[in-house]
Structure 1
C-alpha cells in the first residue's frame, strides 16, 4: 500500500468510526441499564459490585451486578432490574 492509499484508508476509518459513535450515542437515550439479565461474557460494561471493570467479562449468566442496555420499559419484563444491587 502506498502513502496515498494509506491516507485514504485512515480517513475512511475515521469517518466510519465517527458515524458509528454518533449512532451509538443516539441509541443510548432510548435505552436503560438492565441488571441481572446479561449472559456470561455478554455484559455491556463494568459490574456494579466491582468484580470486573469492562464489557464481556461477566463470569456467569444473570449475575445481579452485571448489566446490558435494553430498550426503555423492557427490563423488568425480561426479568431484570433497572437499579443496581446493593453492594
Structure 2
C-alpha cells in the first residue's frame, strides 16, 4: 500500500469513529428520558426483573405483574393503567399486587 491510501484509510476510520461516538449521545439522553414502571407489562413483554426464578426481559408470567417493569416515557408511569396496583396505575417501585 502506498502512503496516500493508508492516510486516506486512517482518516476514514477516524471519521467513522467520531460519527459513531456522536450517534451514541442521543441514545444515552433518550434512555434518561424513561422510567422503570412496575405493573404495566403484559405477559412475556417486560423489559426486566420479574421475580425469583426469572432471568430478565420477557420473563413475566402474567399481565401486569407487580414485580416486572417496562421502560415508559418519563412522567407517564403513574398515569398508565395497572389493574394489579393498589392505585390502579403503574408504580415506580415494585409493589404487592392487590387481590382480584
Q: By the TM > 0.5 criterion, same fold?
A: yes
TM-score normalised over the length of structure 2:
0.57
Name which one, 1 or 2, has greater alpha-carbon Rg.
Answer: 2
Q: How do 1:14-25 residues align onto structure 2 when only pairs under 5 Å count?
A: 22=24, 23-25=26-28
Q: Distance in 1 between matches of 2:27 and 2:33?
A: 11
After superposition, the CA RMSD in angstroms is 2.3
Q: Distance in 2 between matches of 1:58 and 1:26?
A: 27
TM-score normalised over the length of structure 1:
0.65
Gaps of 5+ in 1: 1-14
3-state SS in 2 of match to 1:46: strand
User: Equivalent of 2:69, from 53, 67, 70?
Assistant: 67
1:61 positional shift? 0.3
Q: Distance in 2 between matches of 1:24 and 1:55?
A: 19
Q: Distance in 1 between matches of 2:56 and 2:27?
A: 17
* Count of residues in correspondence between the two structures: 68
Q: 1:42-87 CA distances to partner (integer Å, 9 max, x unpaired)?
A: 100122x33412101111100100110001110010020011226x
